[in-house]
Structure 1
Amino acid sequence: MDWLQLFFLHPVSLYQGAAFPFALLFNYLCIMDSFSTHARYLFLLAGGGALALAAMGSFALLVLIPALWATVLICWLHPRDVHRWAFFFQMSWQTLCHLGLHYTEYYLQERPSMRFCITLSSLMLLTQRVTSLSLDICEGKVKAASRGIRERSSLSEHLCKALPYFSYLLFFPALLGGPLCSFQRFQARVQGSSYLCPRRLVWALSWRGLQIVGLECLKVVLRKVVSAGAGLTDCWQLQCVRVMWFTAGLFKLTYYSCWILDDALLQAAGFGPGFGQSPGEEGYIPDADIWTLETTHRISLFTRKWNQSTARWLRRLVFQQGGAWPLLQTFAFSAWWHGLHPGQVFGFLCWALMVEADYLIHTFASMFIRSWPMQLLYRMLAWAHTQLIIAYIMLAVQARSLSSLWLLCNSYNSVFPVVYCILLFLLGKRKHTFN
């Protein structure tokens, strides 16, 4: 495996950049009040369709069909049944598409089409929006169209009632990336009349542009460092730790850059901070909190801050639904949602164990480490260990074959998660004494 291969992130960024003029145009027309509400929904929907065709080609049908079917379910089922059926259909459809990728990669031993990879990425984001909307309907946060669409009315009236849902599932600023935007925020933005002042918008976009340029420059430097050294196939003992650290750093920089670009696109269209927050709804949270991610000494905090909107969605969809072992269920579902590649199954289950160990270790440390010099030393060691474990998990998740995963597991890097597993076993026996 080529550890420098960043899959489909760069092509997605190119298409996201191409969508910027249309996002700014939408924002401008809304500020000028040149659009009716239905025209705004149609503009966002048409932009989503055009972007899907440009980025995915004929594979766009794999996104358009479940979006259309989810809209039908939302409009015709009773609110209490919407989430169950929408979740079942969406995850079944997505799983079948991921199985197609498995068939291409593992059975045919062929490189998958880049457009198909982009389609899978968009399909995963569509799953977020479908399940988020269906949960909102079940919980009464969103009024279901099914209450009024069964009444006798013309076809045009039925389509008008379904338009907001279909537009939300396919609106172009969030089609290929970006933080999860709730339907309440989306609807409030489209129907609203007050928007961010142009000067503040220009400053926000300029700042994000500078961040992206800085991250891309760091990527160029780090790529040269990684390319000049040995890989996991020919590294020697502790040298493998250096390879893992820098390779994971390259992956993280790529994700940070993409997340900031996605956030900027939503901001350009007017779906950023300050728009559409309803009472009781959490405010807009970008996916990239780089400072916290790079400075925290706790794996649990890193987990909550890594891709924040997805972490919040997983917490609501799985973790808060009750049942035994909610943490393990959440990470197992995350592996399913990502596609169930061997590295993903291993990486996410390892991540779950590391988070569980993190809670016990830091609880134990807070009871017995009192002096500030020891606390400072502990934080430094915990930070280094946290970053190394995250690097290990990241490379495991990115592994696309069992041979690549075996190279990682058979290296000195496995020492770091093994230490946490041992501490989890030892401290788990004493959990009742400091719970």
Structure 2
Amino acid sequence: MGWLQLFFLHPVSLYQGAAFPFALLFNYLCNMDSFSTNARYLFLLAGGGALALTAMGSFAVLVFIPALCAVVLIYSLGPQEVHRRTFFFQMTWQTLCHLGLHYTEYYLQEPPSTRFYITLSSLMLLTQRVTSLSLDICEGKVDAASGGIRSRSFLPEHLCKALPYFSYLLFFPALLGGPLCSFQRFQARVQGSSSLYPRHSFWALTWRGLQILGLEGLKAVLTGVVSAGVGLADCQQLQCIYVMWSTAGLFKLTYYSHWLLDDSLLCAAGFGFELGQSPGEEGYIPDADIWTLETTHRISLFTRRWNQSTARWLRRLIFQHSKAWPLLQTFAFSAWWHGLHPGQVFGFLCWAVMVEADYLIHTFANLFIRSWPLRLLYRTLTWAHTQLIIAYIMLAVEARSLSFLWLLCNSYNSIFPMIYCILLLLLAKRKYKFN
């Protein structure tokens, strides 16, 4: 199973931590009038290049090439063509890189390099920024210098105009992680003065640091518990439910800690929630909303709040442009974006079915459950069921392999998604009769 996918986040955290002094330095330099806009773009770009080479080694070329090609396409195509072509190129390149991982893992039966995992993660984040920028250009939110390459301007002038795009695609606070930052927000931050006040930044970053330490402590305890217990291959009957829940908890704690660190790095550089937003632009939303994720009794709400910036990006990129089966298309694309491993395909399609069932179940429950004791009991049961279904999906997606997926599907854990599938079929028929 692909436990390396979980624990490769530790090297990423080290690289993100090493980037903190440079993020604070950038924030400090933005207060100086002598630090020009182009110098800021170059600082972020150089930092991204240095971080990529340090974290990925020679694999960094797999990130530099699509970034360069994306800028060339954005700079040379018209607003109506740019999104379709950049999307096609970026997803083709990313898919080829993921197929290289498939070849190494499944055909050669060799463990891939940790640097290659980091490269793929960075490439997925690059896809977010490329498609977000191309959508902004297509929708008229960003004015692109289309047709620039065909003009007779000098090369330095071309490079100067393309610098903001290069810098946005490779700027170091978002290279290895973090919520998706729109190009408008990025440009407003670089062109404006520093908005991160020292007192506020100190307390905000201190609070995030304490949260990360708390999560790391919980993760250390849970790691010991999971390591000391049996695995899914050796568990028996109802014991498998505990194994699934505890293992998924370890995954969640790792992601929460990683997201908070990424968010802290962006805020240290001044790209956080303190930055004012342009009219019509959606505000800054951190990826980790731990309270909602751990207390909600609705799978649909969990889905919207899990890795929030990515969920918002998928909604804009796929869901809002799908004419038929938008939910299924969104989750299918998410499986493609993640790499199309067997567990990911199964997990994301299962997730789509669970969200559809969640809508129907709660719609009918709100109609028929009136008294508060029954509502309290209903919320308690659906909260537990939601957490167990999410744990089931998470193990399928993270483990990825067919062998582990077979173990998961043949365990008692499959009862929980099966209940929602049965309710979906029953309530769908009843909804059809009502209509």
Which TM bucket (shorter chain)?
over 0.9
Q: Name the structure 2 match of 1:423.
A: 423
- State how far apart, in whole Å, the 1-side matches of 2:110 and 2:77 are: 41
Question: CA 1:157–1:4 in 2, change beyond 3 Å: closer, same or farther?
Answer: closer
Equivalent position SS for 1:142 = coil
- State how far apart, in whole Å, the 1-side matches of 2:433 and 2:281 are: 38
Question: CA 1:136–1:5 in 2, change beyond 3 Å: closer, same or farther?
Answer: closer
Q: Name the structure 1 match of 2:33.
A: 33
CA contact (8 A) 1:71 1:165 kept: yes
Q: Name the structure 1 match of 2:114.
A: 114
CA contact (8 A) 1:45 1:171 kept: yes
Q: Name the structure 1 match of 2:200.
A: 200
TM-superposed deviation, 1:276: 4.5
Number of positions where the alignment pairs a residue of Structure 1 with one of Structure 2:
435
Question: CA 1:126–1:228 in 2, change beyond 3 Å: closer, same or farther?
Answer: same
- State how far apart, in whole Å, the 2-side matches of 1:255 and 1:5 are: 11
Q: Name the structure 2 match of 1:233.
A: 233
Within a 5 Å distance, the mapping from 1:72-111 to structure 2 comes to: 72-111=72-111
Gaps of 5+ in 2: none
Residue 212 of structure 2 aligns to which amino acid in structure 1? I
Q: Name the structure 2 match of 1:214.
A: 214
Q: Name the structure 2 match of 1:172.
A: 172
Q: Name the structure 2 match of 1:187.
A: 187
Residue 424 of structure 2 aligns to which amino acid in structure 1? L
Q: Name the structure 1 match of 2:380.
A: 380
- State how far apart, in whole Å, the 2-side matches of 1:148 and 1:107 are: 44
Q: Aligned pair 1:68/2:46, yes or no?
A: no
Question: CA 1:155–1:62 in 2, change beyond 3 Å: closer, same or farther?
Answer: same
Q: Name the structure 2 match of 1:137.
A: 137
TM-superposed deviation, 1:396: 0.3
TM-superposed deviation, 1:388: 0.1
Q: Name the structure 2 match of 1:298.
A: 298
Q: Name the structure 2 match of 1:255.
A: 255
Between 142-151 and 122-131, report the one with greater CA deviation: 142-151
Q: Percent identity?
A: 84
CA contact (8 A) 1:4 1:247 kept: no
The CA RMSD measured in Å over matched residues stands at 1.2
- State how far apart, in whole Å, the 2-side matches of 1:115 and 1:51 are: 12
- State how far apart, in whole Å, the 2-side matches of 1:398 and 1:20 are: 29
- State how far apart, in whole Å, the 2-side matches of 1:400 and 1:345 are: 9
Q: Name the structure 2 match of 1:330.
A: 330
Equivalent position SS for 1:271 = coil
CA contact (8 A) 2:27 2:194 kept: no
- State how far apart, in whole Å, the 1-side matches of 2:19 and 2:229 are: 38
Q: Name the structure 1 match of 2:128.
A: 128
- State how far apart, in whole Å, the 2-side matches of 1:200 and 1:274 are: 9
- State how far apart, in whole Å, the 2-side matches of 1:56 and 1:194 are: 30
- State how far apart, in whole Å, the 2-side matches of 1:408 and 1:34 are: 59
Residue 256 of structure 2 aligns to which amino acid in structure 1? Y
Equivalent position SS for 1:285 = coil
CA contact (8 A) 2:5 2:398 kept: no
Query: Which of structure 1's runs of 4+ aligned residues deviate more than 4 A?
Result: 2-5, 147-150
Q: Aligned pair 1:311/2:318, yes or no?
A: no
- State how far apart, in whole Å, the 1-side matches of 2:5 and 2:205 are: 28
Equivalent position SS for 1:429 = helix
- State how far apart, in whole Å, the 1-side matches of 2:2 and 2:79 are: 47
Between 223-232 and 68-77, report the one with greater CA deviation: 223-232
TM-superposed deviation, 1:400: 3.1
Q: Aligned pair 1:371/2:365, yes or no?
A: no
- State how far apart, in whole Å, the 1-side matches of 2:433 and 2:292 are: 31
CA offsets 1:72-120 (integer angstroms, 9 cap, x no match): 0000101110001100000000000000000000000000011011000
TM-superposed deviation, 1:322: 2.6
Q: Name the structure 2 match of 1:244.
A: 244
- State how far apart, in whole Å, the 2-side matches of 1:216 and 1:188 are: 34
CA contact (8 A) 2:185 2:277 kept: yes
* TM-score, structure 1 as length reference: 0.98
Q: Name the structure 1 match of 2:351.
A: 351
Question: CA 1:281–1:433 in 2, change beyond 3 Å: closer, same or farther?
Answer: farther
* TM-score, structure 2 as length reference: 0.98
Between 126-135 and 273-282, report the one with greater CA deviation: 273-282
Equivalent position SS for 2:6 = coil
Residue 65 of structure 1 aligns to which amino acid in structure 2? I
- State how far apart, in whole Å, the 2-side matches of 1:37 and 1:345 are: 44
CA offsets 1:283-323 (integer angstroms, 9 cap, x no match): 00000000000000000000000000000000000000032
TM-superposed deviation, 1:194: 4.5
- State how far apart, in whole Å, the 1-side matches of 2:342 and 2:313 are: 24
Residue 326 of structure 1 aligns to which amino acid in structure 2? P
Q: Aligned pair 1:152/2:145, yes or no?
A: no
CA contact (8 A) 2:322 2:329 kept: no
CA contact (8 A) 1:186 1:276 kept: no
CA offsets 1:368-410 (integer angstroms, 9 cap, x no match): 0000000000000000000000000000001232111111111
Equivalent position SS for 1:6 = helix
Equivalent position SS for 1:323 = coil
CA contact (8 A) 1:48 1:172 kept: yes
Q: Aligned pair 1:409/2:409, yes or no?
A: yes
Between 173-182 and 269-278, report the one with greater CA deviation: 269-278
Residue 37 of structure 1 aligns to which amino acid in structure 2? T
CA offsets 1:253-284 (integer angstroms, 9 cap, x no match): 00000000000000000000131511011100
TM-superposed deviation, 1:32: 2.8
- State how far apart, in whole Å, the 2-side matches of 1:425 and 1:390 are: 20
TM-superposed deviation, 1:5: 6.5
Q: Name the structure 2 match of 1:161.
A: 161
- State how far apart, in whole Å, the 2-side matches of 1:255 and 1:111 are: 22
- State how far apart, in whole Å, the 1-side matches of 2:180 and 2:407 are: 35
CA contact (8 A) 1:273 1:283 kept: yes
